[in-house]
A and B are shown apart, each in its own frame.
Chain A
Amino acid sequence: MLAAVYFHRGVVGRKASSSNPPAPAITLTDLDGNTLNLSRYKGKVVLINFWAAWCTPCRGEIPQFTALQDKYASQGFQTVGISMEDSESTLRDFCRESKVNYPVVMGNQKIAEAFGGVLGLPTTFLVGREGLIHEKHEGETDFRRLEQGIKHLLQSPAQN
């Protein structure tokens, strides 16, 4: 329940502090069967989007996440999609048709709880280069604010 108490709905402050919970070092498996440990992205700004292909607003946000990945990947930005309660075939078809350009994994309760609980979709976390969770967006994402957060975190040096 690491994030549940800390975060308010929407966006939290961006200055790293002891109250920023660390992103869980969980191991995920993407749709191609590749193992993905979130700790490998330490040093990057990571956006983690919990979503589902059956969730209309989630689907609508995917083009914007792919655009952010295109725009900021070269500066050390990485998006990861975690799909909840989708069938693998539906998810695979959707990702192909939508030209998703970042890893997408099948999520579960354990993964959701590792992030302090995901009790609605879409839910998006923004992790700084030092591996701490800085923002949690619940419900439809305010992309203007999200992009501001990404830019801010990309400019911040990694700290340990």
Chain B
Amino acid sequence: MRFRENRLLTWLLTAVLVTAPAVAVQSQSAESSPATADLIRPDELAKALQSSAKPTVLNVGPRMIYVQAHIPGAEFIGPANKPEGLEKLRARAASLPRDSFLVIYCGCCPWEHCPNIRPAYQELKQMGFTRLKVLYIATSFGSDWVEKGYPTAKGEQ
């Protein structure tokens, strides 16, 4: 009887050890993705930019896209998948009230593969921003913002 209990215990332990890393990776991925409620569509942002309560817009993507085209008024922070980009984001955000209307965007790559949005979102959430929005760009900044005819600026900020 005890032998059977030991075997069951061993089996359970093995099952937990084998499945735990996979579960951890899954939940990490789900946790780092912006919550649906924290997303803002391009048309919604374009409208917000015309209102009196304009958000602060931070670009957390590569410079080569920003200099070719960016959202008017957006501040260039740089790729948030790099330590220096994340540090710059932290420093810029530190001066903002935690309840300010803040939008981050990238658009370097198709949404599910963007290396910059998730670390930037996580950082700002941890800093306590309560009105943080992430611009949902499905394919690229070119396809989903510029070619849709939304306002665009060019060059360095």
Contacts and interface: CB of A to CB of B under 8 A. Distances in A.
Contact of A57 (B62, B64, B107, B109): B109
B139 A121 contact: no
Interface string A17-42: 00000000000000000000000000
A138 B115 contact: no
B143 interface: yes
A85 B139 contact: no
Interface string B122-151: 000000000000000001111100110000
Interface stretch (A64-72, A108-116, A146-154): A108-116
Interface in B47-94: 62-65, 67-69, 79, 81
B142 A119 contact: yes
A109 B139 contact: no
B7 interface: no
A119 B62 contact: no
A53 to B, nearest CB: 11
Contact of B147 (A9, A54, A123): A9
B110 interface: yes
A148 to B, nearest CB: 21
A139 B140 CA distance: 7
Interface size class of A (residues with CB under 8 A): 20 to 34
Contact of A54 (B110, B115, B142): B115
A140 B62 contact: no
A117 interface: yes
Contact of B109 (A4, A9, A56, A108): A56
Contacts of A55: 108-109, 113, 115
A112 B62 CA distance: 13
A133 B4 CA distance: 71
Contact of B146 (A52, A84, A119): A119
A138 B64 contact: no
A139 B62 contact: no
B63 A85 contact: yes
Interface of B: 62-65, 67-69, 79, 81, 107-110, 113, 115, 139-143, 146-147
Interface of A: 4, 9, 52, 54-58, 84-85, 107-109, 112-113, 117-123, 138-140
Nearest 6 pairs between A and B by C-beta? A120-B140, A119-B142, A139-B139, A56-B113, A85-B62, A119-B141
12 contacts: A4-B146, A52-B62, A56-B109, A85-B79, A109-B64, A117-B146, A118-B65, A119-B65, A119-B140, A119-B146, A120-B141, A138-B142
